[in-house]
Amino acid sequence: MAIFTRRTFLGAAALGTLGVLGGRAVGAMPAGPDAGDALTIGYVPIACSSPLLAADALGAFQRRGLNVRLRRFAGWADLWSAYLTGQLHVTHMLSPMAVTPTSRPTTLAYTLNTNGQAITVASRLHSEVNGLADLKGRVIGIPFEYSIHSLLLRDQLAAHGVDPVADLELRLLRPADMVAQLEVGGIDGFIGPEPFNQRALATGSGRVLHMTKEFWDRHPCCAIAMGDDWRQAHPGEALAVTDALAEASSFLNAPGNHTEAADMLSREIYLNQPAALISPVLQGAYRNWAGEDVIDPERIHFGDATDPAATAWMRRQLTRWELA
């Protein structure tokens, strides 16, 4: 029997699907696609999804005999609900989503990216904030409870003497809404993906307080998850998907491809963001809290092997914060 804590309830309510998280699905799981059918892969348009988008743009899926269709979601709740109810069998996920116990057994099949996230704080607070301890009493946006952002921020706040439950508000926001909320004063900062930290830097509305790699270099962020039912029924397709992602990751990691990759990812059908915001992310260029221009080639990296120790850490943190 599933045991729901307050936080688990909130997470399930965010999905709008209490009947599937941690319990039995509300209805029969749809059958997997017949041979030759299109494979629909869900994604949220953030830089972490770049290997998936590049694999499509480069024809890596097609060369392996896959007929892939990408389905874009504005936020994680809708995507997870679609996956748990069988509308998707393969999808982009935040890595903690893939290791959270649910009604649908799931495999974290491929780690899309490591690093690539930041804590961005409103520029108006530059004179008041020097570190995480100064976030007490603030409102900080997070993309989802079941995210590396949520888990890593909570862990680091606690390590700096800030109770992440009692001492500040962590507010759920879709990544695309974070900068707008920062600009109008709805939040004081956010921890989130690219290119939204870069957008805050470009508009002057925010400054990077910390890159998350400062806390844990090569931490996982996003992944491709597969339903075990689909993966076991389609082992060849599953392998072809991860092979295509590996090809795309190698392309993205090569410095000589960053300009081309930024142009490719900027297309309306993919990230729908200016290449001028994507290119610095791939190149590792940003301005830090102290106002120094930094070039860090490891700002984001694609296609690292899935680390069992990282997976174990995520599971412990989900339990620690009563999310699973």
Show the domains of the chain with their CATH numbers.
Answer: 6-114+219-270+305-320 (3.40.190.10), 116-218 (3.40.190.10)
Residue-level pLDDT at 3: 36
Backbone angles phi, psi at 68, to 5 degrees: -100, 135
Q: Which of 33-42, 136-145, 163-172, 285-294 has the lowest mean pLDDT?
A: 33-42
pLDDT in tens, 114-151: 999 999 999 999 999 999 999 999 999 999 999 999 99
Average pLDDT across the chain, whole number: 91
**Residue 194 pLDDT > 60, yes or no?**
yes
Q: Within 13 Å and on the Cβ side, how many CA atoms surround 16? A: 10
- Contacts with 46 (C-beta within 8 Å, 6 or more apart), sequence order: 175, 193, 194, 195, 196, 222, 271
Cα separation values, 95 from 92, 98, 99, 220, Å:
9, 5, 7, 7
Maximum CA pair distance of the chain?
60
**Residue 31 pLDDT > 90, yes or no?**
no
pLDDT in tens, 147-189: 999 999 999 999 999 999 999 999 999 999 999 999 999 999 9
- Contacts with 288 (C-beta within 8 Å, 6 or more apart), sequence order: 207, 208, 294
Structural tokens at position 205 = 């509305």
3-state secondary structure of 252: helix
Cα separation values, 98 from 174, 277, 300, Å:
19, 28, 20
Q: Cα–Cα distance between 187 and 173 in angstroms, integer?
A: 10
Residue-level pLDDT at 16: 45
